[in-house]
């Protein structure tokens, strides 16, 4: 029943009202992007930052900047995520939970900022004619792209999208557009604006590349698994009740150990030959020579043959560690401030507690023993939870002992 959902989403994405594309300048800041969005020729109510282009501020910082720049005659609130809590902020900087805010009943007066993490798994009932800005960042794959687009539940039936790419992504899309066209059309294509087909071509190219790169890691894990399985298989068991000895554990650990340092000669000294991923791992499996896992190897090699394609690469590159700055990144030095050491309170067992446990004793009036018993909300005093515990909502017959609250010595 869900098999056709993917095609329906793509069809909705390709509708004419979504054919809106904007590219950003090099190293565009969050404020630069927001200024472009608020001056766009149509009002944008939602930012879906699936490309993670807003990197120079917290969700709150970005949301409040957007609210400040937005039209005061049309927008009263901004909605954003603080961790996993949905927060509403008005123009007076008053913050409320979305569920209890008046804004939850007036979504037409709100703008919504969804960071990269929350472009999946969130659901707002946006009014009709809402338009969203979808950011395009490096390496964006189809699953993440479609998930973000589907935050607009009425896509194709009242909701619409605009697409905003970083400068690097814009260059990638142009390059793919040229490559996909014949030489006779190249000049014409260069002058044509980017359209939805070009964006989807770029997304699918990223998806193919991500899947193809993932085959290497998947196959490498299979080799690691076989090494560990072989080590366990080679243990000399005398009987099924035998326990592990220290020497057996040491031998097992040494057999499973994988070197963290690879010699330069081993990585770069071999003759460089272009091979398919299937051929590279066929050779590596032969070198491992774990014949008792033949069925397992055959399944892995079949998957590599089906999905590895004919693309060639150097086998040395599969193990090479590379670092490349793909997007603008901020340097951030974290300073951890740990709590100071504290001393525990000396435990006390009140006589009244003992009397309470005596089933033959007289009935105690707890409300008159304030030095020993307190209503349950008293447990939250002098804590950050006190304002949220709703002290008047608890049953009056729920009590705690003062000893329950005394945990550490305070100044």
Long-range contacts of 211-214 (CB under 8 A, 24+ apart): 211/307, 212/277, 212/307, 212/308, 212/309, 212/311
Please state, in angstroms and rounded to a whole number, the distance separating the CA atoms of residues 311 and 215. 12
Separation between Cα atoms, residue 249 and residue 314, nearest integer Å: 37
Cα gap 370→366, rounded to integer Å: 7
Burial class of residue 8 (count of CB atoms within 10 Å of its CB; 0-12, 13-18, 19+):
exposed
How many Cα atoms sit within 13 Å of 94 on the Cβ side?
Answer: 7
pLDDT score for 53: 95
Q: C-alpha angle 206/208/213, rounded to 5°? A: 95
Q: What is the CATH number of domain 5-194?
A: 3.40.50
Could you give the 3-state DSSP secondary structure of residue 390? coil
Contacts by 227-234 with C-beta closer than 8 Å and gap 24+? 227/255, 227/256, 227/258, 227/288, 227/290, 228/255, 228/256, 229/290, 229/293, 230/255, 230/290, 230/292, 230/293, 231/255, 231/256, 233/292
pTM of the shown model? 0.68
Q: 237's torsion region: left (phi>0), alpha (psi -120 to 50) or beta?
A: beta
Paired residues of 344 in beta bridges? 408
Q: What are the C-alpha distances in Å from 356 to residues 57, 373, 376, 379?
A: 55, 11, 17, 20
Contacts of 155 (CB under 8 A, 6+ apart): 9, 12, 13, 18, 149, 161
Q: How far is CA 64 from CA 6, 55, 89, 116, 133, in A?
A: 35, 15, 8, 17, 17
Distance CA 304, CA 300 (A): 6
Phi, psi of 289 (to 5 degrees): 60, 55
Residues 6+ apart with CB under 8 A from 19: 195, 196
And the tokens for 367? 């409300």
- Rounded Cα distance between 404 and 161, Å, is 55
Q: 26: which 2 tokens?
A: 């090099």
Instruction: Write out the chain's pLDDT in tens, 411 residues.
Output: 566 777 788 889 999 999 999 999 998 999 999 999 999 999 999 999 999 999 989 999 999 999 999 999 999 999 999 988 999 999 999 999 999 999 999 999 999 999 999 999 899 999 999 999 999 999 999 999 999 999 999 998 999 999 999 999 999 999 999 988 754 455 555 568 899 999 999 999 999 888 888 887 888 888 888 778 877 777 776 665 566 677 777 888 887 887 777 777 766 666 677 788 888 887 777 766 555 567 777 888 888 888 877 777 766 555 544 444 444 555 556 677 777 888 888 888 888 888 887 767 777 888 888 888 888 888 888 788 888 888 788 888 888 888 888 888 876
Distance from C-alpha of 409 to C-alpha of 397, rounded to nearest angstrom: 28
For the chain, which residues make up each domain, given as ranges? 5-194, 216-318, 351-405
Other Cβ atoms less than 10 A from the Cβ of 76: the count is 19
Nearest to 178 by CA among 192, 161, 165: 192
């Amino acid at each position: 029943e869900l098999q056709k959902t993917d095609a329906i989403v793509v069809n909705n994405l390709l509708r004419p009202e979504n054919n809106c594309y904007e590219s950003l300048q090099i190293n565009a800041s969050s404020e630069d992007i927001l200024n472009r969005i608020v001056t766009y020729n149509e009002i944008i109510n939602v930012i879906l930052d699936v490309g993670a282009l807003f990197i120079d501020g917290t969700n709150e910082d970005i949301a409040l900047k957007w609210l400040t720049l937005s039209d005061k005659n049309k927008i009263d609130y901004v909605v954003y995520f603080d961790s996993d809590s949905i927060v509403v902020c008005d123009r007076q900087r008053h913050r409320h939970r979305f569920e209890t805010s008046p804004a939850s009943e007036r979504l037409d007066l709100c703008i919504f900022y969804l960071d990269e993490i929350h472009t999946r798994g969130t659901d707002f009932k946006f009014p009709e004619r809402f338009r969203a800005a979808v950011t395009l960042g490096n390496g964006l794959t189809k699953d993440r792209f479609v998930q973000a687009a589907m935050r607009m539940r009425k896509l194709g039936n009242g909701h619409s999208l605009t697409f905003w790419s970083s400068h690097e992504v814009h260059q990638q899309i142009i390059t793919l557009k040229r490559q996909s066209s014949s030489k006779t059309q190249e000049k014409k294509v260069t002058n044509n604006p980017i359209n939805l087909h070009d964006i989807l071509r770029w997304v699918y190219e990223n998806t193919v590349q991500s899947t193809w790169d993932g085959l290497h890691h998947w196959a490498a894990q299979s080799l690691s698994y076989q090494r560990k399985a072989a080590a366990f298989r080679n243990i000399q068991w005398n009987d099924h009740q035998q326990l592990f000895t220290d020497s057996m554990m040491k031998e097992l650990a040494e057999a499973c150990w994988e070197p963290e340092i690879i010699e330069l000669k081993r990585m770069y000294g071999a003759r460089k030959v272009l091979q398919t991923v299937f051929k590279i791992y066929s050779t590596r499996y032969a070198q491992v020579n774990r014949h008792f896992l033949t069925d397992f190897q055959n399944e892995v090699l079949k998957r590599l043959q089906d999905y590895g394609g004919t693309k060639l690469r150097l086998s040395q590159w599969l193990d090479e560690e590379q670092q490349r700055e793909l997007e603008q990144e901020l340097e951030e030095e974290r300073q951890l401030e740990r709590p100071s050491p504290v001393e525990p309170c000396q435990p006390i067992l009140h006589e009244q507690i003992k009397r309470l446990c005596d089933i033959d004793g007289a009935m105690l009036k707890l409300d008159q023993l304030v030095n020993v018993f307190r209503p349950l909300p008293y447990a939250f005093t002098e804590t950050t939870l006190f304002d949220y515990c709703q002290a008047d909502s608890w049953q009056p017959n729920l009590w705690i002992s003062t000893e329950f609250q005394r945990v550490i010595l305070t100044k």
